[in-house]
Structure 1
Amino acid sequence: MNSHVQVKKPKTMAAILMLGAFIGLFGETALNMALTNIMEDYAISAGTAQWLTTGYLLVLAILVPLSAYLVRWFSTRQLVVAALVISSLGAALAAVAPSFAVLLTGRLVQAIGTGIFLPLMFSVIMLIFPIQKRGAVMGIVGLVITAGPALGPTLSGLIISASSWHYIFWVMVILNVLLLISALNIENVSDISKPKIDVGSLLLSTVAFGGLIYALSTLAETPFTNPAVWAPLLAGVAALGLFIFRQLKMPEPMVDLRVFKYPMFALGTVLMVITLFVILSVAILIPIYLKSVLAYTSIAAGLLMLPANLLNIIMAPIVGSNFDRVGARIFTRLGFSFITVGAIVFLLILSATTPVWQVIGALCILFLGISMTIMPAQTHAMNQLPRELYADGSAAMNTLTQVAGAAGTAIAITLFTAGQKNYIAEFGAVNPAEFLAFGTHHAFYAVLIAAVLGLIGSLFIRNNREVVK
């Protein structure tokens, strides 16, 4: 069996898919820079406002497992067009939102489009390129995955300074419509077999991933002893256990969990999960710190985050083009070493009076590491799978990374809030910059723990040249 499907214009097809995924991933963090403005406009707290990011990720975590079904029920063109139309409608609704409830609804609709697009990009790109070209192509995919969420605060900062946060959504509407015109002639590469849809699996995956993310997000403003936290957490864990058991027993599972029988796929997915956790944590903490503690404007805060993003953009294709020669082992070890050092530097320097060049330097170290972990871990993992498991591998990996992203956002805000409360309890609330800085510092312990776990995991990566065709 060939390792790929022949299409007329694989590069054009890949470009459309990557741009669509970039817009969706940009949407994950685009509002982070606008959270303070939105909190003022709608008179809401940080814990409520973070649902604009967490709710988006929640929908992705619920929808992405469905992707293994969707690619077997609908053609590639139908899915791409549907995803772009739904994303455009959601962004338009959010752009004209008269209330926070309408804004959140628009975000959730937008996330449905991204939830269709993201796993589709992975499985299609794995199908249309031969194995020897995947390193370079997946290097660009890795850039899309990191640059989308990472550039969100920078680009939205520029948009907010020029007009208002509403225009962040109008920009996404315009980009989606332009991409939709290009996508009308996209070729189908899916094997449409129309398997029976298992409603039980759908319900269990929804309760599992929805419950886990809801519980983590509620923790930002509610103690763990409150039923609003532990009840959905228990429901999520129980549903996840039943979902896994059901998938392993079914002749045609919703997501084929046999992908985790390939050790390097399982480990690569874990490293991806950790990297996304770090990216989303940092993407929400640093904009709040730069604006609320160091008192920078949205445009200044966005531009200050640009050097780290540019470093990532430069490094991603370099890592991709050298992946086949160097292998995942060296890149992931180096990458997580840099991420760990970056997290330690943040914990050493963060205060109400930290010179901004130190923040930029620490961010650059962190993103240098991220550029070396995400693509090698992902490509190495997917390369272990036979072609018929690409869609399942993509669905499993993307579901877990979206859960990790939501967990990163929720845990970062929870620790940020807890740190502030601890500071205020001990020293009072006279100086807001001091307790906000302490909250940010407190949240970076989660980033450090994640980085160390990733570094330990990278020690077990094997550069296995044997790939299942």
Structure 2
Amino acid sequence: MAALLVAGFVGLFSETALNIALSDLGQIFEVSTTTVQWLATGYFLTLGILIPVTGILMQKFTTRQMFITSILLTIIGTVLAAVAPSFGFLLAGRIFQAAGLAINLPLTQNVIFTIFPPNKRGAAMGIMGLVMLAGPALGPTIAGLILDTLSWEWIFWVQLPFLLLSLIIGLSYLPNVNEVRKVSIDVLSVVLSTIGFGGIVYGFSVSGESGWTSSTVLGSIIVGVLAIILFCVRQMKMEIPVMNIRAFKYPLFVLGVFMSFITFFNMLSMLVILPMYMQIALLIAAFTTGLILLPGSLLNCVLAPTIGGLFDKYGPKAVITPGTILVAFGYLIYASFGADTALWMVVVTHIIMMLGIGAVLASTQTNTLNSLPKEYYPDGIAITQTIQQVAGAVGIAVMVSLLASIQDSYLATVGNDISAAAATGSSFVFKVGLVFAMINVVLSLFMKKPKEVKLK
């Protein structure tokens, strides 16, 4: 678990760490804002394309083969990015890094659900939840510190020792825990999956630059949706599908997927909108912004295993429902923020928000997969991980577009105060987040501990 979790942390750290350096990198490599944004878009796009096929790969290859492939891809990508002489090399490094993470995340969950019995999975998934929150949350803070003291290359060099440590631990201790079967990978399914999930992620990712009415955006999303429909139809007709969507026959799994989508939609967009609000409306420096968000992230890391233990002891509803209420309460306070909000209010509200997300995130994933028969675990993991990446890409695109729209409207009709405009736009976006958070509160009331599930 240490080998897998360390590599996962580095991958998720890298997902957000570079965001703070994008403007600098655009100047260094002399590329436009639209082009440099591909360092983030390409990462999401690679995850959206590769994660859907990991379910069948985990049945075809051993745990060690998957792990070694994952860690080597990440190491190659990290070194390539660190020594990049041009923007193309840097982008290629990011894609290699994302490919490694796309294998690591589903593999880690699959190992947890294979080696831990149901009554101990909550604690194990709590630790994974710690990694999934700490990586993206600490990325901007540590990257900001690096940029203040060293050059941008060190954002990648600092990752390398941890990746090598993960590789050494994995080669020494990681056994083969999955059952390997002779399965063939259907090429047409992979193509449809790539076009489908890739098209949707790409369409939403570039919407901020191109606009929602752009033919590129609308065309990508429409083609993506059609490809996913064809993909699903093909999977239902196959004896051994690439992604077994028959998992949706289980009601608790469907409920968990909806809650995961909302959680990741809100969480990843919030991690983008909140720093923008602080930097534009409150005029706080990037590194200081990271420090303000640090207490909530660290407290969540400390409490994640405890929350997982409470899930194992008291069941899903006792943990998930209070968590959704905390998230909704956090959004309610966020929505009242203005251009003169005290910093201590931001710190306290972020702590409340992160505690709520910590209670919801890993516990929902655990209960969602527990509701499936064990034969469906690889497929269930691939489905939930794909949904999470799509939710993140969609959430960031939609919320940033809403923020920009309200800001522009304010500047055009009310006044020329950019701080007030950013505060007004952020408040509106947080109200939208509150609506989704309230939906999750209602959905959590239907969450229950699944009985032992047999294959239907």
Shift of residue 45 of structure 1? 6.6
Moved more, 294-303 or 230-239: 294-303
Q: Which of 3, 8, 16 is residue 29 of structure 1 equivalent to?
A: 16
Tell me if 1:225 matches 2:195: no
- 1:142-190 residue CA offsets vs partner (Å, 9 max, x unmatched): 2122222222222222222221332111112232122112221321122
Distance, in Å, in 2 between the alignment partners of 1:99 and 1:352 is: 40
Distance, in Å, in 1 between the alignment partners of 2:429 and 2:39 is: 19
Paired position in structure 1 for 2:137: 150
Spell out the pairing of 1:7-18 with structure 2 (5 A cutoff). 14-18=1-5
Distance 1:210 1:416, change over 3 A: same
Tell me if 1:173 matches 2:155: no
Distance, in Å, in 2 between the alignment partners of 1:37 and 1:187 is: 43
Spell out the pairing of 1:79-158 with structure 2 (5 A cutoff). 79-158=66-145
Shift of residue 135 of structure 1? 2.0
Shift of residue 19 of structure 1? 1.4
Tell me if 1:20 matches 2:4: no
Moved more, 112-121 or 51-60: 51-60
Distance 1:363 1:393, change over 3 A: same
Distance, in Å, in 2 between the alignment partners of 1:221 and 1:261 is: 39
Distance, in Å, in 1 between the alignment partners of 2:112 and 2:341 is: 43
Shift of residue 287 of structure 1? 2.5
Tell me if 1:197 matches 2:197: no
Distance, in Å, in 1 between the alignment partners of 2:40 and 2:252 is: 31
Paired position in structure 2 for 1:339: 327
- 1:29-76 residue CA offsets vs partner (Å, 9 max, x unmatched): 112333443455456676655443332122111101111122122221
Shift of residue 395 of structure 1? 0.8
Moved more, 411-420 or 111-120: 411-420
Distance 1:165 1:287, change over 3 A: farther
Q: Which of 273, 294, 304 is residue 316 of structure 1 equivalent to?
A: 304
Q: 2:296 touches 2:347 (CA, 8 Å); kept in 1?
A: yes
Paired position in structure 2 for 1:4: none
The SS at the match of 1:305 is helix
Q: 1:156 touches 1:302 (CA, 8 Å); kept in 2?
A: no
Q: Which of 402, 426, 431 is residue 389 of structure 2 equivalent to?
A: 402
User: Mind listing any 5+ residue stretches in structure 2 that lack a counterpart?
Assistant: none
Tell me if 1:291 matches 2:279: yes
Spell out the pairing of 1:36-55 with structure 2 (5 A cutoff). 36-41=23-28, 49-55=36-42
Distance 1:374 1:458, change over 3 A: same
The SS at the match of 1:220 is helix
Moved more, 388-397 or 171-180: 171-180
The SS at the match of 1:296 is coil
Tell me if 1:278 matches 2:266: yes
Shift of residue 299 of structure 1? 2.8
Q: 1:161 touches 1:298 (CA, 8 Å); kept in 2?
A: no
Shift of residue 207 of structure 1? 0.9
Moved more, 125-134 or 99-108: 99-108
Q: 1:77 touches 1:188 (CA, 8 Å); kept in 2?
A: yes
Distance, in Å, in 2 between the alignment partners of 1:39 and 1:203 is: 32
Distance, in Å, in 1 between the alignment partners of 2:25 and 2:400 is: 16
What is the total number of aligned residue pairs between the two structures? 454
- Aligned-residue sequence identity (percent) comes to 41
Distance 1:410 1:194, change over 3 A: farther
Tell me if 1:435 matches 2:440: no
Distance, in Å, in 2 between the alignment partners of 1:258 and 1:100 is: 42
Distance, in Å, in 2 between the alignment partners of 1:322 and 1:454 is: 20
Distance, in Å, in 2 between the alignment partners of 1:238 and 1:450 is: 26
- 1:224-258 residue CA offsets vs partner (Å, 9 max, x unmatched): 22211111111011111111111111111001112
Q: 1:262 touches 1:384 (CA, 8 Å); kept in 2?
A: yes
The SS at the match of 1:193 is coil
The SS at the match of 2:210 is coil
Moved more, 408-417 or 380-389: 408-417
Distance, in Å, in 1 between the alignment partners of 2:80 and 2:279 is: 27
Distance, in Å, in 2 between the alignment partners of 1:47 and 1:442 is: 26
Distance, in Å, in 2 between the alignment partners of 1:293 and 1:174 is: 38
Q: 1:384 touches 1:468 (CA, 8 Å); kept in 2?
A: no
Moved more, 34-43 or 169-178: 34-43
Distance, in Å, in 2 between the alignment partners of 1:105 and 1:413 is: 26
Shift of residue 263 of structure 1? 1.1
Amino acid at match of 2:82: A
Shift of residue 98 of structure 1? 4.2
- 1:62-107 residue CA offsets vs partner (Å, 9 max, x unmatched): 1011111221222211211111111112122222334444433321
Paired position in structure 2 for 1:425: 412
User: Mind listing any 5+ residue stretches in structure 1 that lack a counterpart?
Assistant: 1-13
Q: Which of 377, 380, 388 is residue 393 of structure 1 equivalent to?
A: 380
Distance, in Å, in 1 between the alignment partners of 2:233 and 2:310 is: 40
Shift of residue 20 of structure 1? 1.4
Amino acid at match of 1:203: V
Amino acid at match of 1:262: Y
Q: Which of 348, 357, 363 is residue 344 of structure 2 equivalent to?
A: 357
Q: Which of 198, 208, 216 is residue 210 of structure 1 equivalent to?
A: 198
Distance 1:418 1:171, change over 3 A: same
Amino acid at match of 1:89: I
Distance, in Å, in 1 between the alignment partners of 2:365 and 2:162 is: 27
Moved more, 64-73 or 114-123: 64-73
Distance, in Å, in 2 between the alignment partners of 1:293 and 1:315 is: 31
Q: 2:138 touches 2:297 (CA, 8 Å); kept in 1?
A: yes
Q: Which of 299, 317, 321 is residue 329 of structure 1 equivalent to?
A: 317
Tell me if 1:250 matches 2:238: yes
Distance 1:40 1:296, change over 3 A: farther
